[in-house]
A and B are shown apart, each in its own frame.
Chain A
Amino acid sequence: MGRFLFSRLISALVVIVGVVCLVFMLIHLVPGDPVDVMLGESALPADREALRSSLGLDRPLAVQLAEYLKGVVRFDLGRSLHAKQAVAELLAERIPATLELALAALVITLLIAIPLGIVAAVNRGRAADWGAMGFSMLGLSIPNFWLGPMLILCFSLWLGWTPVSGREGMSSLILPAVTLGMSFAAILARMVRSSLLEVLDEDFVRTARAKGLDEKRVIWRHAMGNAWLPVITLVGLQLGALLGGAVVTEVVFDWPGIGSLMIESIQKRDYPVVQGCVLFISLAYVLVNTLTDLIYGLVDPRIHGGGGR
């Protein structure tokens, strides 16, 4: 296990440094100048140059990148060009909202997807299967930018149960979490169904049934126990994506998360903030993937144990 963790840590470092360097180069190659956004068009050329110099943007790109990486090692992510705030502070303001939404959406995803997938698999070819998969198809087909306003119209405006948008306590979390969770649940439900269908045809399930175990126990203990691996993979990927920020949902619900911060910063060419967001997202992905791998080991000890007893 120790060796496994060490190798994961090394590959994670390579991935993060690679992503940070790549994004650094790309964002500087995109047309558009942060000095223009900061000073406006009417600023004097001398003032532009002075600002560019004071921000260090006149130095060669490689020097800027080296400076940035040196800062990252010292946990200094720089300062926002626009907000004049430390990037770490800006991220700290947004991360709780992102975590909150990601976790809530994940709960909703699991609450919808697992029962739906099981019902569909157990009733293969019957009305319940068609119904569950039809619901799943609907969840996949409806874009979040439409579902969000529809949920607002229904639950906020007509029924008055939740606030329309913003981060104003627990009730404001429900609609964005449902919006985000619906599309993920649709994908996961299909995965649960197909994984379970594969396992339900295995000999050990037939044996369990032949032993006279009740169906609930057969499904939950024996079949699902062996169907978790692909489901866990997908949940890990989805959690990574959720932590990376759900831009559309954040915009519709004015949710102050990492996704909207990154988009705003890209529009303003606020390089240090974009870099900070990318760093956080890569870290989140790496962490979630490592956790997923660890959970694999718990679910199936053969995986990290060298493949045999």
Chain B
Amino acid sequence: MGWRQPLLLLWVTLSSLACSTAYEEDSIRMGLASAPITLDPRYATDATSERINRLLYQRLVAFDERSMPIPAVADWQRLSPRRYRVRLNQSAGRFLQGRRLDADDVIATYRYVLDPNNASPRRSGITMIEEIVKVDDLTVDFKLSRSDPLFPAYLTLDILPADLINSDHDFARNPVGSGPFSFNAWPLPGRLILKRREDNRRFEFVEVKNPTVRVLKLLRGEIDMLQNDLSPELIDYLQAQAGIGIERRDGSNFTYIGFNLRDPQTADPRLRRAIAHAIDRQAIIHHLMQGAARRAEALLPPEHWAGADALKAHAYDPQRAVSLLREAGYGAANPLRLVYKTSSDPFRIRLATVVQSQLKAVGIEVELRSYDWGTFFGDIKAGNFQLYSLSWVGIRTPDIFNYVFASDSLPPAGANRGRYASVAVDRLLQQLESADSLERQAQLYHRIQRQLHADLPYLPLWYEGQVVASSPRISGYRLMRDGNYDGLEQVRVRRQQGMEDGHIAVAY
């Protein structure tokens, strides 16, 4: 019997060590692939933090379906090309202390981000602001260093309370905002709890890294919903499960293959065109992604106000690819050999493998190299690659073209990772600086996209679709095109009230 006592003691010790973090029954639980890093929007750069922060804070401007800026908590007026007046409207909410968001909060937030000593990653987007002047408690004037008709689209900082900014409050762990949700607790790194202000409903954001486990948790009712970051097979599996609702919609996150224009091989436009004709994007979307994407021809989707919708697709044409390769001096005796770099993300590796196989069919030998994110991204920024694949997520404003394709936007000054240099594109980007209306800007952006389509510094692949899977316990979630979580404002828990006429009656 002697051995049983220490064993029992050990088990009791373990029991007491095991902290209880059981979920509350009335909570709505969302499974996340990665937890937010910081709830201070001045420093958030990861997608999850930004999505959660949208729930906690309010911002002056929002976007419509065409990505045009529309009023959120403020309306604006262009007083002159370099002066905008912003007036808070009725949508401006209250902070937890009961005080309504006002001009002082707007000024404090923007001044904090603009201060170079604070090293906010958001500063680069608003450096054109020269001066911020308070007109009255609800009105602020922004004076700009240069004219920009798209300026309101940059007024997307989450607004923090001025008094707490001044007292150096720890927003990262204890956020205070005027958004539709308030912070409740963050008991574990992977478990964040918010409350919806409207009805005090608890929302738990639970990090579940493994996608299969995330799906199993949904099926067992441990989480109520999960959004994106699922392989097509898992989505198919969920679709076949009784009671699980799947909703999809088109997205705007853009996936592409990037070329190094300073590499002696990939600098040859015939070779880039050959690759474009050798990759069957539609087949990849159909078979690998099971339809959960739409083919892209440019960085911005066609519905974007500056998007180009008349670009001729680089059609899948292996014969044309072979003849372009032959023109460039490659053939069976002298096959083209390229290195394709990718991250260690399993889906990226699968995509790279499919591309490798399709390129092999036209005689291009591709060597795949996958690295952890830091190493991979370091190589890409340093221009140490021939081919790579990445996505642009959450792009709203077309100034991305300057950031990605201007010849002076080489990293770290910009994201021209492929070292693309086009006199035509640079000239068009310069003309944009003097374009005084959005219509004129849209025309110039269309021309830029046509030039890029011809030069192929990127091979556009697709816009990834959004998908949400939810348990029968909840309803009303609205899926957003950019994958944000704003739909949580409408989500409701169904209450079973019993059987009526053989059906379960559900109340909201």
- The answer to whether B121 and A103 have CB atoms under 8 Å apart is no
Q: B-facing mask of A53-93, CB < 8 A → 1, else 0?
A: 01000000000000000000000000000111100000001
CB-CB nearest in chain A for B127: A44
Q: B-facing mask of A96-130, CB < 8 A → 1, else 0?
A: 10011001100100000000000000000000000
> A165-173, A185-193, A226-234, A300-308: which one contacts chain B?
A165-173
CB-CB nearest in chain B for A177: B14
- The answer to whether B222 and A100 have CB atoms under 8 Å apart is no
Residues of A near B172 (CB, < 8 A) are 83-84
> A16-24, A207-215, A251-259, A288-296: which one contacts chain B?
A251-259
Q: Using a CB-CB cutoff of 8 Å, which residues 150-191 of chain B contact chain A?
A: 170, 172-173, 188-191
Given contacts A36-B377, A173-B14, A254-B208, are A165 and B217 in contact (CB under 8 A)?
yes
Q: Which of A44, A164, A170 has the most CB of B within 10 A?
A: A164
CB-CB nearest in chain B for A36: B377
Q: How far is the CB of B198 from chain A (nearest CB, A)?
A: 28
Q: Using a CB-CB cutoff of 8 Å, which residues 206-227 of chain B contact chain A?
A: 206-210, 212-213, 216-217, 219-220, 222
- The answer to whether A173 and B212 have CB atoms under 8 Å apart is no
Within 8 Å by CB of B216, from A33, A149, A251, lies A149
- The answer to whether A43 and B374 have CB atoms under 8 Å apart is no
Is A201 in contact with chain B by the CB < 8 A criterion? no
CB-CB nearest in chain A for B373: A267
- The answer to whether A44 and B213 have CB atoms under 8 Å apart is no
- The answer to whether A149 and B213 have CB atoms under 8 Å apart is yes
- The answer to whether B117 and A251 have CB atoms under 8 Å apart is no
Q: CA A254 – CA B190 in complex, angstroms?
A: 8
Is A202 in contact with chain B by the CB < 8 A criterion? no
Residues of A near B411 (CB, < 8 A) are 41
Q: A-facing mask of B90-119, CB < 8 A → 1, else 0?
A: 000000000000000000000000001101
CB-CB nearest in chain B for A50: B119
Is B125 in contact with chain A by the CB < 8 A criterion? yes
- The answer to whether A168 and B23 have CB atoms under 8 Å apart is yes
CB-CB nearest in chain B for A107: B10
Is B310 in contact with chain A by the CB < 8 A criterion? no
- The answer to whether A168 and B20 have CB atoms under 8 Å apart is yes
Is B22 in contact with chain A by the CB < 8 A criterion? yes
Is B372 in contact with chain A by the CB < 8 A criterion? yes
- The answer to whether A157 and B188 have CB atoms under 8 Å apart is no
Q: Using a CB-CB cutoff of 8 Å, which residues 214-264 of chain A contact chain B?
A: 251-254, 256, 260
- The answer to whether B212 and A164 have CB atoms under 8 Å apart is no
Is B413 in contact with chain A by the CB < 8 A criterion? yes
Q: Using a CB-CB cutoff of 8 Å, which residues 358-410 of chain B contact chain A?
A: 372-375, 377-379, 381, 403
Q: Which of B37, B116, B117, B411 has the most CB of A within 10 A?
A: B37
Known: A33-B378, A47-B119. 17 other contacts (CB 8 A): A32-B374, A32-B377, A36-B377, A39-B119, A42-B403, A43-B124, A50-B117, A82-B37, A96-B17, A100-B18, A160-B220, A164-B213, A165-B213, A169-B18, A169-B19, A169-B20, A254-B190
Report which B residues bind A (CB closer than 8 A): 7, 10-11, 13-15, 17-23, 37-38, 43, 45, 116-117, 119-121, 123-125, 127, 170, 172-173, 188-191, 206-210, 212-213, 216-217, 219-220, 222, 372-375, 377-379, 381, 403, 411-413, 415
Among all A-B residue pairs, the 9 with the closest Cβ atoms? A32-B374, A40-B45, A31-B378, A39-B121, A51-B119, A169-B20, A164-B217, A31-B375, A100-B17
